[in-house]
Amino acid sequence: MAQEITLFDLASKPPSRLVLNYKSIPYNTHWLEFPDIASHLKPLGIPPNTQGKTYTVPTIHLPSSPSHPDGEYIMDSKAIAIALEAKYPEPPLHLDAPELGRAEELWMQLLRSLVGVFGPRVNSTLLNDRSREYVEANMHLEGKP
């Protein structure tokens, strides 16, 4: 039986799940809460991010391969999409589409304009008490948990 991809994620962050589902790639999900992200990922030997938060989700663990006998960990939705596209090219994501850069830019502008309106509601509606308390206590550090 082939090894499955493991997705480490929050219930409120669907992009990587969308890619895995779109490509019909088998995977299992290990749900994490905000306060547990670093303490869970660091002991797995995942190198920290060089910018922003040191450990983030989504993170995936790709099965072992000749070039990565212990598998490979990848953090960040875009990096995950690029890796999955390289390993599983069908159906294509069209990550090379010329419109993608502009779409990403517009998406970030939209998110920045809405965060003040929806951010507090997201925290109180989608997060459980433990994650909400962590996010509220750490929001000031970098503008995000």
**What's residue 143's pLDDT?**
45
**What's residue 12's pLDDT?**
66
Rounded distance between C-alpha atoms, residue 122 and residue 62, angstroms: 30
**What's residue 140's pLDDT?**
60
Q: How many residues belong to the chain?
A: 145
**What's residue 145's pLDDT?**
47
**What's residue 118's pLDDT?**
76
Query: Which residues in the chain come in under a pLDDT of 50?
Result: 1, 143-145
CA-nearest of 125, 104, 117, 121 to 11 is 125
Q: Provide the pairing of β-strand 5-9 with 27-31.
A: parallel
**What's residue 1's pLDDT?**
38
**What's residue 126's pLDDT?**
78
